[in-house]
Amino acid sequence: MVQHTRRNISKPVIGVTGNARLFSPSWLCIKLAVFLAGGHALRISVRHPVPEEHLDGLVISGGDDIHPSLYEEEIMAKAHYDEARDELEQRYIEYALTNHLPILGICRGYQLLNVQSGGSLYQDIRPLREKTDNRATFLPRKKVVLKKETEIYKIIGHELFKVNSLHHQAINILASDFQVAAWDADHFIQAIEHKEVKPVIGVQWHPEYLLYLKHQRQLFTWLVAQAKRTVT
């Protein structure tokens, strides 16, 4: 059942993909972030489909691991996958890329942008870390370095800052359509952006849990500003 149309919605409509659970803190935080940026968020999941043509922008949010068959790796015994969500999000990403809608990929969503474009992932970086902590944290404790010549640097405005960390996977081979925008101390990629003029960026951290920091809110401000350009 389709949950919404964009009838009587004058603000840019941002689709937010995620899990289909009844309670989703990530969805609630992203909804707030989009509202603060001047947009209107619509939840998208297997249970909450939205027609693609109703959207002006897209957030691909975090969640379960991407099925490894999508990047030619083996299934891990203790991993949690959601193939229905993988398929759903791939459809929305393809629509957004084809129609030049802005995209913000977060954690799993950032990884899926890379995988869908032909890249691959490390399935578990915990044994590979040397200078960063394996403990998950909602607080900004991990240092990230941004390249100054990137779009994401223009958005955030800081070369060095700290982020939260809730992931155990990371980009391995970067898709040729993207370029690296940031790394952590272990040289794992932390942010990417599309090489062409398409407004598509992705971050490994969760900015929706860092809305008390202006430079993190600016990622959503950028998304809504880009989405306004698509509104006719």
Look at residues 201, 217, 218 and name the one whose alpha carbon lies nearest to residue 209.
217
With respect to residue 77, please indicate whether it lies within any of the assigned structural domains: yes
The count of other CB atoms within 10 Å of the CB of residue 200 is 26
Q: Residues 85-110, buried b or exposed e (16+ Cβ, 10 A)?
A: bbebbbebbebbbeeebbbbbbbbbb
pTM: 0.94
- Show the tokens assigned to 229: 């350009």
**The pLDDT value given to residue 1:** 35
Domain harbouring 173, CATH code: 3.40.50.880
- Distance in angstroms (rounded) separating the CA atoms of residues 106 and 77: 25
Query: Does the residue 5 lie in any domain?
Result: no
> Can 48 be counted among the known catalytic residues?
no
Q: Tell me the β-bridge partners of 106.
A: 203
CA distance 155 to 146: 11
For residue 129, being part of any structural domain is answered with yes
Tell me if residue 206 is catalytic: yes
Identify the active-site residue in 107, 167, 193, 194. Answer: 107
Q: Is residue 207 part of a domain?
A: yes
One-letter identity of residue 77: A
CB 39 within 8 A of CB 223: yes
Give the bridge partners for 65, in sequence order.
81
Predicted pLDDT of residue 223: 99
Within-domain flag for 210: yes
Active-site residue identified among 40, 48, 194, 206: 206
- Domain range holding 176? 13-228
In 3D space, the residue among 177, 61, 183 whose CA is nearest the CA of residue 116 turns out to be: 177
In a domain, 1, yes or no: no
Strands 40-44 and 170-171: unpaired
Flag whether 63 is in a domain: yes
pLDDT tens-place values along the chain, 232 residues long: 344 455 557 899 999 999 998 889 999 999 999 999 999 999 999 998 999 999 999 999 999 999 999 999 989 888 889 999 999 999 999 999 999 999 999 999 999 999 999 999 999 988 888 888 778 898 999 999 999 999 999 999 999 999 999 988 999 999 999 999 999 999 999 999 999 878 999 999 999 999 999 999 999 999 999 999 877 5
Would you state the pLDDT for residue 6? 54
Query: Would 159 be classed as within a structural domain?
Result: yes
Q: What domain count does the chain have?
A: 1
Q: How many CB atoms lie under 10 A from the CB of residue 176?
A: 10
Q: Which amino acid is at 172?
A: N
Q: Of 40, 89, 167, 208, which one is the catalytic site residue?
A: 208
